[in-house]
Amino acid sequence: MLSICSKGIDRMSEERRAFIERVTNETRIQIALSLDGGQIGIKDSILRNADNNNQVAKQATGSQVIDIHTGVGFLDHMIHALVKHAGWSLVLECVGDLHIDDHHTTEDCGIALGQAFKEALGAVRGIKRFGTGFAPLDEALSRAVVDISNRPFAVVDLALKRERIGDLSAEMIPHFLESFAGAAHITLHVDCLKGFNDHHRSESAFKALAVALKEAISSNGTNDVPSTKGVLI
């Protein structure tokens, strides 16, 4: 059973916002997202023991609210890095079948975040559309290039060597990015150019993607559709 409920973009403010509920037999996810930062929250939490969850991926400043609970610590850490450096505010709650493994939780969080991104962005007009980002973390350096294209495609090459990073299967790291790109309807290329520490390689990739997305959805000074076709739907 798949149930998706979207309450849409918040037209009461100038911020680009969305609230997504995604429920399947494998996961239950709630996401509140603002692409322009600011104060956000989820009224009715689905987490039974929120105070007992890992608080590493929780941060509140004057410009951002970030609170991520996927049940997988390293996944929380990667999403936190993405959101922080993209300038978004995000509250993400997931209750998944982690007694099986981390696959459904990671994949479905990527899908739900992509759906929220697409809805919060709204009509693709007045933005730069393309974005490029480079981000180092110590010896690691990653590059990300995105196109807000309505053409879902992802090429991810991180060349990770470890089987797991923390409590997350390494193979699920590129799969999260692929799932996000597919649901967001964007074209995404992410590769790690150098580095030997898999934690550093992964984190630099998420930070590079954040930089690229921040550029791609920034204003181009017009209200035009950034396409020779005249439409991106």
Total-model pTM: 0.92
Which amino acid makes up residue 225? V
C-alpha span between 88 and 68 (Å, rounded): 13
Q: Which of 160, 156, 32 is nearest to 93 (CA)?
A: 32
Answer positive or negative: Cα dihedral of 227, 229, 230, 233.
negative
Helices 73-86/198-216 angle, 10° precision: 30
C-alpha span between 183 and 177 (Å, rounded): 10
C-alpha span between 178 and 114 (Å, rounded): 10
Strand partners, 144: 133, 190
DSSP code of residue 149: S
Pure H helices in the chain: 73-86, 103-121, 172-184, 198-216
- Looking at per-residue pLDDT, the higher value among 98 and 222 belongs to 98
145, containing H or E segment? strand 140-147
Alpha-carbon distance values, 47 to 2, 10, 92, 97, 164 (Å): 20, 24, 10, 14, 26
**So what's the pLDDT on residue 229?**
81
Answer positive or negative: Cα dihedral of 179, 182, 184, 187.
positive
Residue 48's pLDDT band (boundaries 50, 70, 90)?
A: confident
Q: Which residues contact 12 (CB under 8 A, 6 or more apart)?
A: none
**So what's the pLDDT on residue 231?**
80
- Looking at per-residue pLDDT, the higher value among 116 and 7 belongs to 116
DSSP code of residue 99: T
**DSSP state letters, 26-50:** SEEEEEEEETT------SS---S-G
Alpha-carbon distance values, 201 to 163, 180, 191 (Å): 14, 19, 9
Chain segment 64-104, per-residue pLDDT in tens: 999 999 999 999 999 999 999 999 999 999 999 999 999 99
**So what's the pLDDT on residue 225?**
82
Chain segment 185-218, per-residue pLDDT in tens: 999 999 999 999 999 999 999 999 999 999 999 9
Q: Which domains does the chain show, CATH number per domain?
A: 17-43+55-217 (3.30.230.40)
C-alpha span between 213 and 86 (Å, rounded): 7
Residue 173 has pLDDT above 60, yes or no: yes
User: Do the beta carbons of residue 119 and residue 20 sit within 8 Å?
Assistant: yes
